[in-house]
Amino acid sequence: MKSEVFDGNAENNDGDARAGNGISEVVWAQPVRWDKIRRLYENDARGVVDEMLVEDVGLALYLRCRSILTVMAAAGGQVACPRCEREGVTSTIVRIGKDNSAASRAEELRCARCGWWTTWGQYWQTYRNRQLYGAGGVEAFRTFLAGFDRARSARDKVHAIDRLIHSFHYNLKAGAKEHTPSRPAAANVIEGSLGEVVAFLDQLTYGDAVTEEMRRTRAAYEERLPHTWAGARYSPPK
């Protein structure tokens, strides 16, 4: 599984750069490649189930969603120690700062269990501008993780994948009578810019073999897609 590894020596480092800093242990799962998703739908359209491919795409999405939820928790003040996590242990570091101000960025995060540490500024730099932050989409990512865990057949897994990449971020402003779809959640889990991902989803093949459930998911997606994103220009991947 390929992952994004943050270069702790990058020029845009923020905060402390003392030796021994554990920032290089903060690793995020990459968004999923277009060609894999495309093949999944082409297969489905022909009634073919490639279990290896379903597993491959599903696992990549699973790890990506987990990365997003880890980032969201950290932004909210609860940073999971990456070193403990690799040992299968959950150890949470509670931040004092609640924003990304200079004072908050200088805050040292230190795991009481294993001694891993970095600064909030450095941690923040590992995820910003990487489509890993998405408050309004948290429910969609959680739903996928639960659905994929429950799925037994390859068909169930395809449905869980299909629902995830056709789900939305919602406007969660307090007092809003109805949650408004703000942007497609697919942009967090599939490679490319938001416009590219919307255009890519438009091009997915739906053949005669597609299930009723997938047709309904697609129809609901098209109905909710904010008009600003509909008809985005298609730019094939390089």
Residue 118 bridge partners (DSSP): 109
Interaction of residue 123 with Zn ion, rule CB under 5 A? no
Q: How far is the CB of 51 from Zn ion (least distance, A)?
A: 36
**Closer of 81 and 161 to Zn ion (Cβ):** 81
Q: How far is the CB of 83 from Zn ion (least distance, A)?
A: 5
23, 75, 109, 111: which one contacts Zn ion (CB under 5 A)? 111
Tokens of 27: 């690793």
Q: Give first-to-last CA distance, the chain, whole Å.
A: 21
What is the C-alpha to C-alpha distance for residues 90 and 81, in angstroms, rounded to an integer? 7
Interaction of residue 91 with Zn ion, rule CB under 5 A? yes
Interaction of residue 84 with Zn ion, rule CB under 5 A? yes
Calculate the CA 163 to chain-centre distance.
Answer: 14
Q: How far is the CB of 156 from Zn ion (least distance, A)?
A: 35
**Closer of 89 and 230 to Zn ion (Cβ):** 89
Kindly indicate which of the ranges 36-44, 103-111, 144-152, 203-211 contains the residues binding Zn ion, using the contact rule CB under 5 A: 103-111
Site string for Zn ion, 25-64 (x = CB under 5 A): ----------------------------------------
**Closer of 39 and 113 to Zn ion (Cβ):** 113
Q: How far is the CB of 116 from Zn ion (least distance, A)?
A: 5
Interaction of residue 116 with Zn ion, rule CB under 5 A? yes
What is the C-alpha to C-alpha distance for residues 201 and 224, in angstroms, rounded to an integer? 14
**What is the H or E stretch that residue 86 is in?**
helix 82-86
113, 155, 179, 224: which one contacts Zn ion (CB under 5 A)? 113
What is the C-alpha to C-alpha distance for residues 181 and 228, in angstroms, rounded to an integer? 12
Answer positive or negative: Cα dihedral of 167, 140, 173, 122.
negative
Interaction of residue 92 with Zn ion, rule CB under 5 A? no
**What is the H or E stretch that residue 218 is in?**
helix 212-224
Calculate the CA 11 to chain-centre distance.
Answer: 25
114, 145, 154, 210: which one contacts Zn ion (CB under 5 A)? 114
Measured CA distances, 91 to 21, 74, 80, 109, 134 (Å): 17, 12, 6, 12, 23
Which residues are near Zn ion by CB under 5 A? 81, 83-84, 91, 111, 113-114, 116
